[in-house]
Amino acid sequence: MFRAALQRRAAEPWFYKALAAIDAWIAGDESPANRAAAMPFFYGRWDEVAQAHAAKAPAERAPDSAATYYAEGAFDPDATRAALSQLDAQVLVLVGGVDPGPTVSEGEALAGLFPDAELVVQAGAGHYPWLDDAEAFVATVSRFVSER
């Protein structure tokens, strides 16, 4: 799913450079320069706003957070799925239409874990839908909250 999501951006002028960076990242190059080169994939538009946001990312990143979140025993998928299936709340799952992760199909799977979930795909948005189209993002979230 991830690779297919990346390929959907093949017409972008930055595609090949960013794809090489993603491949290097997967192979273990987590250097700031390589991460920066991969960033266009995570935005619906690679414009000045996205570039400024991406430039701030290294300073806002907690380097040890992944070690904590993905530590042995920190996450029990079966227990989590069981708990989510019992959640007595309405849930909004909003995914960007061009986000390589979570992809639209991963968003569908996530929404399917809840008894009462609404999936919204924000067309043209990446991992930061509030940057890619703030009006659409605010309208979706506002509508969801106001209907509850």
Q: Is residue 73 classed exposed, middle or buried when 0-12, 13-18 and 19+ CB atoms within 10 A define those classes?
A: exposed
What was the pLDDT predicted at 72? 84
pTM: 0.86
What was the pLDDT predicted at 71? 83
What was the pLDDT predicted at 73? 81
Q: Is residue 136 classed exposed, middle or buried when 0-12, 13-18 and 19+ CB atoms within 10 A define those classes?
A: middle
The pLDDT tens digits along the chain (148 residues) read 889 999 999 999 999 999 999 999 999 998 989 999 999 999 999 999 999 999 987 656 666 777 777 788 888 999 999 999 999 999 999 999 999 999 999 999 999 999 999 999 999 999 999 999 999 999 999 999 999 8
Return the SS3 of 143.
helix
What was the pLDDT predicted at 127? 96
Nearest by Cα to 93 from 111, 114, 113: 111
CA 134 to chain CA centroid, Å, is: 16
What was the pLDDT predicted at 4? 92
